[in-house]
Structure 1
Amino acid sequence: MAYLAPSEFVSKMVDAGEMKIFMSTRDTLIRSYMAGAILALAAAFAITVTVNTGNHLIGSLLFPVGFAMLYLLGFDLLTGVFTLAPLAVFDKRPGATWSGVLRNWGLVFVGNFGGALTVALFMSIIFTYGFTEAPNAVGQKIGTIGEGRTVGYAAHGFAGMLTLFIRAVMCNWMVSTGVVAAMMSTTVSGKVIAMWMPILVFFYMGFEHSIVNMYLFPSGLMMGGHFTIMDYLLWNEIPTVIGNLVGGLTFVGATLYSTHYKTAPSRAIG
């Protein structure tokens, strides 16, 4: 596969961040809506595979199909723009401001949530025959996931919140690595292989992804999970968004930018 050196693909990262800041509201919302919907469907698919096979590894191996599809189609996840958009400000690109970054983040959040919520409703209808029956095995599993990753964290107090936050940080370390990995190659197969690896790691390890959770938790509430909307927001979504921001921007965006784009001077000989 055609491989780009780090100095080459990091330049593409900065260009991508600039493009996202100046993208129209319409295009930003459409692309983020579709990204949220496709990733949510991939999460439903992976959980279905896990329940039907009894093997979480198989579901995790197949989950990245959604991530690969949405990025090949040019759609945007909040976790990706957390990492890319600030780079244009770091590089002092003309017109790139923090207000523009925040505007992009806000629009992508809204679009991702809308797409994920749409799929949550659609899949809940499927799992319950239009809410006329109790949830099937997959629906029941989604309900228990929602409980464990809200009230389960709350039961541990500060330690639970710290665990949630660190899982969110490590999630976007891997997910944003997947976003960047797609820029390492100029072929479809190369992009997919490079993206697949870090996304597999994040999903199998149970790290917290804000957009996947936009599907899991509303769906879990529809499936009768024993937690509330406030449990979801305070003990998952809000801390996860913050952790995803920290993980993607520090461990991926800022580090790659600082060492491959703004390279430090070489040491003098002698």
Structure 2
Amino acid sequence: MANPPAVTVCLAGNVGRYKSSLPVGQLLLRGIMAGAYIAVGAALCTVAGTGVAPLLGAGFAKFIGGAVFPVGLIAIVLTGMELFTGDAMLGPLSVLQGKIGWGKVLNNWLWVYIGNLIGSLAYAYIMVWGPFTQGALGAAEPNAFGLNAVAIAVGKTLAYKSVGSIGLWSCFLAAIGCNFLVNVAIMLGITAKEFIGKFFGIWFPIMAFVATGFEHCVANMYFLPTGLWITQLFPSLVDKSTKAADGTVTYWSPLLHKFGGLTWGDVWLWNIIPATLGNIVGGMIFVGFVYYFAFRNEFPEDLMK
């Protein structure tokens, strides 16, 4: 069973009103849990995708990661937690319907964003000092999962940095695509009336955004600090290389070697900031505004109160 599209848009506006009216303590608490849930999916994506590409190809490795990542958003939606990227659409949609003002939306965004960051960092700490190193901090390098975590972080920061301003634009566009799909998933979760419908309505768009390689600011609050911390624990990774018989040196991560490592400045400037802005545009404009103007003449009166 599913709600008609116009009803779904009205219900989404009501959800935005509810979320934007929560007190700061609730926004923080629920935001922390949502950040942790997204990090659960991101960590699982890292583990499940490790070593797949050389055996089955890069595309299948992406598919595997995308297939397991949605556990985070499914948990958030079904348990009522607060995710910045979802609120980037729900709050403005409620404003367009005349149910709240922009002040409440910005207040929601601020505290949920902070909560998401705290939850993501907490889970990243658990993974770095737990499964990705297994306590072997005196070893030459982390395990295979830790190495993959570093490779993901480098690909989401230094790859953009290496091409300059066009890298920022690329990250911004990838973030628009991400939150377009994330909020399609949110809409489908509201449309469906039963658990199984909500599950698959959320799963497919999230799988699509991860497998495609889009940028999600909250997921990256986990991915990037995880890779950064591992490089700090194992600084030899920066210059890790192999030398061929002819004397040619091949670095494990040429970008990591080129830039002398990964920094917090790289994390924020070359990913999280442009990804955040792109996520706002993707959710608010390409889903919230579009659905409002598509169905505003069909809204049921009883749901507009």
Which residue type is aligned with residue 104 of structure 1? N
2:242 matched residue in structure 1: none
Q: Which of 124, 127, 136 is the matching residue for 1:123?
A: 127
Gaps of 5+ in 2: 54-60, 232-255, 300-305
Identity in percent: 34
Q: Which of 213, 219, 225 is the matching residue for 1:206?
A: 213
The alpha-carbon deviation at position 142 of structure 1 amounts to 1.1
The alpha-carbon deviation at position 56 of structure 1 amounts to 2.8
The alpha-carbon deviation at position 61 of structure 1 amounts to 1.1
Secondary structure at 2:190 match in 1: coil
Worse overlay, 198-207 or 122-131 = 122-131
Rg comparison, structure with higher value: 2
Give the alignment's Cα RMSD to 1 decimal: 1.5
Structure 1 segment 1-270 matched on structure 2, within 5 A = 2-54=1-53, 55-93=61-99, 96-126=100-130, 127-130=132-135, 131-133=137-139, 134-224=141-231, 226-262=261-297
Instruction: Give structure 1 regions of 4+ aligned residues with deviation exceeding 4 angstroms.
Output: none
Which residue type is aligned with residue 128 of structure 2? S
Q: TM-score, normalised by structure 1?
A: 0.93
The alpha-carbon deviation at position 132 of structure 1 amounts to 4.2
- Superimposed CA distance per residue, residues 71-90 of structure 1 (whole angstroms, 9 cap, x where no aligned partner): 11111111000000112222
Worse overlay, 176-185 or 124-133 = 124-133
- Superimposed CA distance per residue, residues 54-107 of structure 1 (whole angstroms, 9 cap, x where no aligned partner): 4331221121122212211111111000000112222222xx221211110000
The alpha-carbon deviation at position 129 of structure 1 amounts to 2.5
Secondary structure at 1:116 match in 2: helix
Worse overlay, 132-141 or 176-185 = 132-141
Which residue type is aligned with residue 221 of structure 2? M
Which residue type is aligned with residue 121 of structure 1? Y
Distance 1:164 1:262 in 2: 36
Which residue type is aligned with residue 230 of structure 1? G
Which residue type is aligned with residue 35 of structure 2? G
CA contact (8 A) 2:62 2:212 kept: no
The alpha-carbon deviation at position 114 of structure 1 amounts to 0.4
How many correspondences in the alignment?
A: 261
1:268 matched residue in structure 2: none
Distance 1:189 1:53 in 2: 29
Secondary structure at 2:288 match in 1: helix
Distance 1:208 1:168 in 2: 5
Which residue type is aligned with residue 121 of structure 2? L
Gaps of 5+ in 1: 265-270
CA contact (8 A) 2:62 2:210 kept: no
Distance 2:169 2:38 in 1: 26
CA contact (8 A) 2:9 2:295 kept: yes
- Superimposed CA distance per residue, residues 155-178 of structure 1 (whole angstroms, 9 cap, x where no aligned partner): 111221111110000000001111
The alpha-carbon deviation at position 53 of structure 1 amounts to 4.0
Q: TM-score, normalised by structure 2?
A: 0.82
Secondary structure at 2:291 match in 1: helix
Secondary structure at 2:191 match in 1: coil
